Amino acid sequence: MSHKINPLHHQTLPLQPSTSTRPNKNIKTSSFKDVLNQVSSIKVSKHAQKRLDERNIQISEQTWNVINEKMNEAKEKGVTDPAVILQDAVLIASAKNNTIITAMDRNEAEIVTNVNGTIVIQD
């Protein structure tokens, strides 16, 4: 039994001209934290909005901005489900989803479960 072995012929591919990718110096760079803070804003679930309305809980825009900032800080530290304690209210949030899940008046808040971090905000 005689089998011929044919030589292997490699095909050479033409080289692509290298293109220079120089960074554009006119582009303003932002830190990841700044971009994250700009992109991610807090969402309020329908349930939480209903609770805020029922309990007549008013939260200023400035306080929402502080809550957003502190939730991002908590997320960086590994907190996924914080309780946000305000002067008159307690908000239960999902830091993973940047969402307020429910809200309660500070006077009625007694036992809160499934929370792995706390954010205290002084107004």
Q: Which letter does DSSP use for residue 31 in this model?
A: -
pLDDT tens for each residue of 25-73:
555 555 555 554 455 589 999 999 999 999 999 999 999 999 999 999 9
Distance of alpha carbon 44 from alpha carbon 100, whole angstroms: 5
Q: Report residue 85 CA to chain centroid gap.
A: 19
Query: What is residue 93's three-state secondary structure?
Result: strand
- Out of 3.30.2310, 1.10.1740, 1.10.10, 3.30.420, which CATH number does the structure's domain 32-120 have? 3.30.2310
Burial pattern 61-81, b for ≥16 Cβ within 10 A else e, equals eebeebbeebbbebbeeebeb
Give which of 86, 101, 107 is closest to 51, Cα–Cα.
101
Task: Please report, as a single letter, which amino acid is at residue 75.
Answer: K
Q: Across residues 17-22, what is the average pLDDT?
A: 60
Domain ranges of the chain: 32-120
pLDDT tens for each residue of 102-113:
999 988 867 889
